[in-house]
Amino acid sequence: MRIGVITFPGSLDDRDAQRAVRIAGAEPVALWHGSHDLEGVDALILPGGFSYGDYLRCGAIASLSPIMTEVVDAANAGMPVLGICNGFQMLVEAHLLEGGLIRNDHGSFICRDQVLRVENASTAWTGDFAAGQEITIPLKNGEGGFIASEETLDRLEGEGRVAFRYVDVNPNGSLRDIAGITNDRGNVVGLMPHPEHAVEAGFGPDTAAAMRSGVDGLGFFTSVIRSALVEA
Amino acid sequence: MPTIVVDVMPKPELLDPQGKAVAGALSRTGHGEIAGVRQGKRFELTVEGPVTDEVKAEITKIAEEILSNSVIEDVVNIDFGDES
């Protein structure tokens, strides 16, 4: 399986996302925001960072990039798309996911190992988890507060489209503790925390077993590989 | 060249952490009479040629779809500069 990772001006975690894809057993393909070519990839990752210095609104200018035309078409045709942090903000700005992301309610940038509950384990990116499973992956953002109208929030909850919820601590004021959501088809997933930073023992979050041994993020990438096998 | 001004504000019902931080600084510096601050954005668009109804419609669309995000912000004013 070939998974494209798109680099935008100001992307920071594109290399980490490529590495996570490789560790999970797929082939990462580096894609460029200014191109109109998805190079025949089977899935897409929009990585974290600060595209265009967060000018206008986080992810807003990147969501108007040339390659986003193809990303929107591919997402609407069912291709798995994962937006991490700034990538989540881009998916929201591109209207592939609902709601919006605003500055953290406490006004500060936050960086911590965050416990999440997997609320929907049937998306293209969460199939290897169990519903209700708690995972720990790093979170680092300044504008991660998820907001939407009450009506939209009720609909997201009712349709099972809240993919992840913050556990123990709500780190940024996200409404209803929402950390990530999915579209109705389950192929597009966006979340603020960073699964690509928890894929290799020695470099992940601390666990009860050993320091930096957490690899809970790997499941995102193995999930999408398995979902492609099921479809094939 | 005509300049058109678009003002965008965070939705009133939503938290505005930037405004809140500014209000905190005002209060700390002895401006206790300021009860609140909300921070928005002002865009100045210069247009080549006359501002026709077509241009106005285009700018209104740009303001609503690109300069603002209707989930979190409102376009509170567009000044086409033709009032005077």
Q: Among B21, B67, B71, select the one facing A100 at the smallest CB separation.
A: B71
The average pLDDT across B71-75 equals 94
- Extract the tokens encoding A8: 């935008």
In the predicted model, is pLDDT for residue A180 greater than 50? yes
C-alpha span between A42 and A19 (Å, rounded): 17
Provide, as residue numbers in chain B, all residues whose Cβ is less than 8 Å from the Cβ of A153: none
| Distance of alpha carbon A165 from alpha carbon A203, whole angstroms | 24
Q: What is the residue range of B45's domain?
A: 3-14+40-79
For each of the domains in chain A, give its residue range(s) and CATH number, in order of start. Answer: 2-231 (3.40.50.880)
Asked if the structure places residue B61 within a domain, the reply is yes
Closest CA to A13 of A44, A38, A42, A46: A46
Report the number of distinct structural domains present in chain B: 1
B3: β partners: B46
The pLDDT of residue B81 is: 85
Pairing mode, if any, of strands A100-102 and A145-147? antiparallel
pLDDT, average across residues A151-160: 97
B28 is a domain residue: no
In a domain, B74, yes or no: yes
Mean pLDDT of A123-133: 98
Predicted confidence (pLDDT) per residue in B27-47, tens digit: 999 999 999 999 999 999 999
* Average confidence (pLDDT) over A168-178: 96
> What's the complex ipTM?
0.87
pLDDT at B84 over 50: no
Task: State the pLDDT at residue A33.
Answer: 97
C-alpha closest to that of A135 among A176, A55, A57, A191: A191
C-beta separation of A125 from A105 below 8 A: no
Chain A residues in contact with B18 (beta carbon < 8 A): 103
Question: How many C-alpha atoms does A185 have within 13 Å on its Cβ side?
Answer: 12
**B83: pLDDT strictly greater than 60:** no
Nearest CA distance, B28 vs chain A (angstrom): 17
Residues 6+ apart with CB under 8 A from A11: A47, A48, A49, A51, A86
Q: Identify the pLDDT of residue B15.
A: 79
User: Could you tell me if residue B69 is inside a domain?
Assistant: yes
Give residue B70's identity as a one-letter amino acid code: S
Q: Which of B10, B21, B67 sits opposite A107 (nearest CB)?
A: B21
Give the contacts of A134 (CB within 8 A, at least 6 positions apart): A115, A116, A117, A118, A167
Instruction: Give the closest residue to A125 by CA, choosing from A167, A70, A163, A155.
Output: A163
Task: Supply the pLDDT for residue A37.
Answer: 97
Mean pLDDT of A55-72: 97
pLDDT band, very low/low/confident/very high, at A119 (cuts 50, 70, 90): very high
CA angle (A141, A109, A176) in 5-degree steps: 60
Q: How far is CA B79 from the centre of its chain?
A: 11
User: Are B82 and B51 spatial neighbours (Cβ–Cβ below 8 Å)?
Assistant: yes
- Greater confidence (A67 vs A107) lies with A67
CB B14 to CB A102 under 8 A? yes
Q: What is the pLDDT of residue A205?
A: 96
pLDDT tens digit string along A161-170?
999 999 999 9
Mean pLDDT over all residues of chain A? 96
Rounded CA separation B41/A56 (Å): 9
Rounded Cα distance, A224 and A42, in Å: 10
Q: What is the percent of chain A where pLDDT is above 70?
A: 99
- Half-sphere exposure of A124 toward its Cβ, with a 13 Å CA cutoff? 26
| B67 part of a folded domain | yes
Looking at residues A85-101, what average pLDDT do you find? Answer: 97
The pLDDT value given to residue B53: 96
Half-sphere exposure of A74 (CA within 13 A, CB side): 23
Tell me how far CA of residue B79 lies from CA of A162, A172, B2, B5, in angstroms: 40, 35, 11, 5
Mean pLDDT computed over A176-192: 98
User: Is the pLDDT assigned to residue B55 strictly greater than 70?
Assistant: yes
What confidence tens digit (pLDDT) does each residue in A189-230 have? 999 999 999 999 999 999 999 999 999 999 999 999 999 887
Nearest to A194 by CA among A180, A206, A208, A183: A180
Cα dihedral A31, A36, A40, A44, rounded to 10, equals 50
pLDDT at A214: 96
Interface check for A190 against chain B (CB to CB < 8 A): the answer is no
Do residue B72 and residue A92 have CB atoms under 8 angstroms apart?
A: no
d(CA B15, CA A103): 9
Q: Is residue B22 part of a domain?
A: no
**Would you state the pLDDT for residue A232?**
63
Q: Is A196 a catalytic residue?
A: yes
Q: Averaged over A117-134, what is the pLDDT?
A: 98
When pLDDT is averaged across residues A92-115 and rounded to a whole number, the result is: 95
User: Does B57 map to a domain?
Assistant: yes
